[in-house]
Amino acid sequence: MLKLETTLRDDKIFDSCSVFGMMNKAGKRFSGQDVIKATVNMQERTNGLGGGFAVYGLYPQFRDNFALHIMYLIKDAISPVEEFLKSNFKVILKEEIPTKPLSSITNPPLLWRYFLDVAEDKKDKEEDYVVEKVMTINTGFKGAFVFSSGKNMGVFKGVGLPKDIAKFFCLENYQGYLWLGHGRFPTNTPGWWGGAHPFNILDWSVIHNGELSSYGINVRCLTSYGYQSTLQTDTEVIAYAADLLMRKHKLPIELAAYVLAAPLWDEIERSNPAKRALLRTLRQVYGSLLLNGPFSVIIANRKVMIGLTDRIKLRPLTAGVKGETVYLSSEESAIHLVCNDLEKSWTLEAGKPVVARLEGKS
């Protein structure tokens, strides 16, 4: 193939990473076959340094328990972490996460999951309690970190192509009503097991394509609220910001989007007086959580799947609908691959969220 000489630094990929989300709004569980297939179809967007999936509706038999997925980089970390869990939770079940050895997956960490209950006197603030304990593990125990901590959901991720990560974690054995899939092409942050997507805290999971030049100020803001960013990539802050804005501060999704992908000032000034006052207030209160830089993200919890791009749409994201099923994808072709008779498809507007809400039971 002829390669043209250029001074434009086109040797670096600025628009890679693949994101894909699929949700059945009625809460009907399905296998991840189509999500894996669609994510693999966008394999040119990844370089093998990260792949991962999030599954909701995964553990119906433990739907009321927090499911902590923990990576241990050293075996000696297991015992102190388990003692910590026993001291702070009722451990319902602990087990290794089933995996299948693959030649393409090298040096994986030890992977365990724990189903936990919170003491009665902590129930009224159990989510804040779990966040605090997750942050304690991730900052205070050498060689261990929690990468999934919600109820009736789980994250499975690592260093490898998405197709290999799916095989490694035996995802063919799981079902859920909402799946996220990600293929990573790290540019400015390391490709390692903890840095793969999705990123998670409680029920919130995030997959991301892009780069956040606002990472430093975002981290400082979130630290003031007790969130500790330890996984060496900018996407982690989006998960914590979603939890802060929509769970703790109870902002509606549309207002949270105005914080994360705030309109430009000239757009704010052109708004009607009521909206202008609202947007100004959000910028003044939450200016440090503005995500600056190119991005498209899919954010999910047990009740919603949200698609959002930056305010000038420098990263692609397409939505599609067929009956009860909603799709979000970096590429429309990946949606058509698994659903060739969409009722509707469209490209997201810059900074405007697309929201699919669960109508059935989670």
Give, as one character, the DSSP assignment of residue 150: -
Residue whose token pair is 């393409």: 104
CA-based torsion, 27, 31, 32, 37: positive or negative: negative
The token pair at 63 is 């739907």
Residue 90 backbone zone (phi > 0: left; psi -120 to 50: alpha; other: beta) = beta
Contact 153, 176 (CB under 8 A): yes
The whole-angstrom separation of Cα 65 and Cα 303 is 17
Contact 58, 357 (CB under 8 A): no
The reply to whether 339 belongs to the active site is no
The Cα-based distances of 116 to 200, 207, 224 in angstroms read 17, 25, 27
Q: Which of 17, 170, 221, 339 is catalytic?
A: 17
The Cα-based distances of 138 to 38, 59, 88, 189, 284 in angstroms read 32, 24, 15, 18, 31
Encode burial over 99-114: b for 16+ CB neighbours within 10 A, e otherwise: beeeeebeebbbbbbb
The token pair at 101 is 């050895």
Task: Calculate the CA dihedral of residues 197, 245, 217, 158 and round it to 10 degrees.
Answer: -10
Q: What is the layout of strands, in order, in the sheet containing 66-72?
A: 90-96, 110-117, 66-72, 144-148
Cross-strand pairs, 208: 297
Cross-strand pairs, 53: 156, 181
Catalytic residues: 17
